[in-house]
Amino acid sequence: MLPTIPEIPLHPRAACTLLRSLSPSHLRQAQQLHAHTTISGDSLRHPLLVNHLISFYSRSGYPFLSSLVFSSALTKTHISYTSLASAFASNGLPHLSLSLFRTIHSLRLPLDDRALPIFAKACASAADARLGRCVHSLACRTGFSSNVFVGSSLVDMYAKSGHLFDARRLFDEMPVRNVVSWGGLIHGYSLSGETEMGLRLFREAVRDRGVDVRGRYVA
């Protein structure tokens, strides 16, 4: 049964809970909720609700509606910027995501272990290794380069951009690796024609390390 949007004023946290309960097929209900909170002013001034609206429209495949929510917000936090960047990156618009990266950087807003992988992914999709190095540099300066999710996204970015030396060096320096770091490097070797090296790394991942990369990349 679909949630009913109440006619009475709704607390922003309750609106967030309702948004989390809606699937992408419930776009009409989400838009009703959005309209309800716009009339009350909550969708303009409450950062948590702004972020939930951005995320809902993103996972529903409407990143420009996410952008509309962001533009209308009276208060924009670094999380709001990150949420919109994720919306663009997840919907095939990496250049718009990277434009936000430049804005965040110019505003000196903080970038954390959630934001950095988003921008590394966008750099990989846009084949922009130059900006990817900027993301890597920021990760080092902020102390997140040793984070497994940040490091893995950077390995994947370098590998997909054809910079296998940088990908391998970063991979070897990682204290902990996951399926993304292993799979990204294996895929990079395969794309560059170094299939023997890719197969060797694949065998090491599966046999010696117990990492199952078979569901992610098939050489």
CA 150, 155, 161, 165 dihedral sign is positive
**If you ran DSSP here, which 8-state letter would residue 24 be given?**
G
Q: Give the model's pLDDT for residue 217.
A: 43
**Could you tell me if 184 and 152 are in contact, meaning their C-beta atoms sit under 8 angstroms apart?**
yes
Q: Map 121-169 to HEC letters.
A: HHHHHHCCHHHHHHHHHHHHHCCCCCCHHHHHHHHHHHHHCCCHHHHHH
Question: Would you tell me how many other CB atoms lie within 10 Å of the CB of residue 105?
Answer: 15
What spatial distance separates the first Cα and last Cα of the chain, rounded to whole Å?
Answer: 44
Give me the residue spans of the domains in the chain: 1-76
**Mean pLDDT of the chain, nearest integer:** 88
91 vs 65: CA distance, rounded Å: 12
Question: Is 157 in contact with 123 (CB distance < 8 Å)?
Answer: yes
pLDDT at res. 44 = 77
Whole-number pLDDT of residue 219: 37
Q: Please determine, for residue 121, whether its predicted confidence score (pLDDT) is greater than 90.
A: yes
Closest C-alpha to 2, from 32, 42, 37: 32
pLDDT of residue 22 exceeding 50, the answer is yes
| Range ranked top by mean pLDDT from 9-23, 84-98, 169-183, 192-206 | 84-98
pLDDT at residue 213, as a whole number: 62
Please report, for residues 51, 115, 148, 167, the alpha-carbon distance to residue 174 in angstroms, rounded to integers and kept in the order given: 32, 19, 7, 11
Give every CB contact of residue 203 below 8 A, 6+ residues apart in sequence: none
What sign does the dihedral 163-114-180-101 (CA atoms) show? negative
130-146: average pLDDT:
94
CA distances from 169 to 138, 154, 172 (A): 17, 11, 5
- Over the stretch 170-217, which tens digit does the pLDDT of each residue have? 999 998 888 888 888 998 998 888 989 989 988 888 875 666 665 544
- 160 near 129, Cβ under 8 Å? no
